[in-house]
Structure 1
Amino acid sequence: MSRATLLLGAAVEDYLKSIYKLSLENERVTPKMVAAEQGVSLAAVSKMVKRLCEQKLVRYDRGEGIDLSPPGRKVALEIVRHHRLIEAYLCEALGYSWDEVDEEAEKLEHVISEEFEDRIDRLLGHPTHDPHGAPIPTKDGEVDHRDHPALSEFDSGRVVVQRVNDHDPAMLRYLGDCGLYPGVSVDVLGEEPFGGPIHIRVAGEEISIGKELATHVFVEVAEEGKK
Structure 2
Amino acid sequence: MPAASDLTPSAENYLKVVWGLGEWSSEPVTAGLLADRLGLRVSTVSDGVRKLTERGLLDHAPYGAIRLTEAGRTVAVSMVRRHRVIETFLVEMLGYGWDEVHEEADVLEHAVSDRLVERLHEVLGRPARDPHGDPIPSASGALDPPAAVALADAAAGGDVTVVRVSDDDPARLRDFAARGLVPGAVVHVPEDGPGDEVRVLLGGPGGPALALDPAAARAVWVQPA
Both proteins in one fold, TM over 0.5: yes
State the distance in 2 between where 1:42 and 1:169 align: 25
SS in 2 for 1:75: helix
Could you tell me which residue of structure 1 aligns to residue 211 of structure 2? 209
* 1:178–1:202 contact (8 Å) kept in structure 2: no
Moved over 4 A (4+): none
* 1:152–1:211 contact (8 Å) kept in structure 2: no
1:182/1:22 Cα in 2 relative to 1: closer, same or farther (>3 Å)? Answer: same
State the distance in 2 between where 1:199 and 1:132 align: 20
SS in 1 for 2:135: coil
Amino acid paired to 2:159: R
SS in 2 for 1:6: helix
Could you tell me which residue of structure 2 aligns to residue 40 of structure 1? 40
Cα deviation per residue 1:17-49 (whole Å; 9 max; x = unaligned)?
011111231352111111111111110011101
SS in 1 for 2:139: coil
Give 1:195 deviation, angstroms: 1.8
Could you tell me which residue of structure 2 aligns to residue 13 of structure 1? 12
Q: Which residues in structure 2 correspond to 1:1-227 (within 5 Å)?
A: 4-24=3-23, 25-62=25-62, 64-154=64-154, 155-202=156-203, 205-212=207-214, 213-222=216-225
SS in 1 for 2:5: coil
Unmatched 5+ stretches in structure 1: 223-227
State the distance in 1 between where 2:151 and 2:26 align: 20
* 2:161–2:186 contact (8 Å) kept in structure 1: yes
State the distance in 1 between where 2:41 and 2:119 align: 38
Cα deviation per residue 1:198-226 (whole Å; 9 max; x = unaligned)?
1312387412222311111100011xxxx
Give 1:63 deviation, angstroms: 5.1
1:71/1:196 Cα in 2 relative to 1: closer, same or farther (>3 Å)? Answer: closer
- Paired residues in the alignment total 220
Cα deviation per residue 1:95-148 (whole Å; 9 max; x = unaligned)?
111001101101100110122111101101111110000001110011122452
* 1:191–1:199 contact (8 Å) kept in structure 2: no
State the distance in 2 between where 1:152 and 1:53 align: 36
* TM-score calculated relative to the size of structure 1: 0.91
SS in 2 for 1:200: strand
* 1:189–1:201 contact (8 Å) kept in structure 2: no
1:197/1:56 Cα in 2 relative to 1: closer, same or farther (>3 Å)? Answer: closer
Give 1:151 deviation, angstroms: 1.4
SS in 2 for 1:62: coil
State the distance in 1 between where 2:37 and 2:202 align: 34
* 1:190–1:199 contact (8 Å) kept in structure 2: no
* TM-score calculated relative to the size of structure 2: 0.92
Amino acid paired to 2:15: L
Unmatched 5+ stretches in structure 2: none
| Structure 1, 41-50 or 203-212: larger mean CA deviation | 203-212
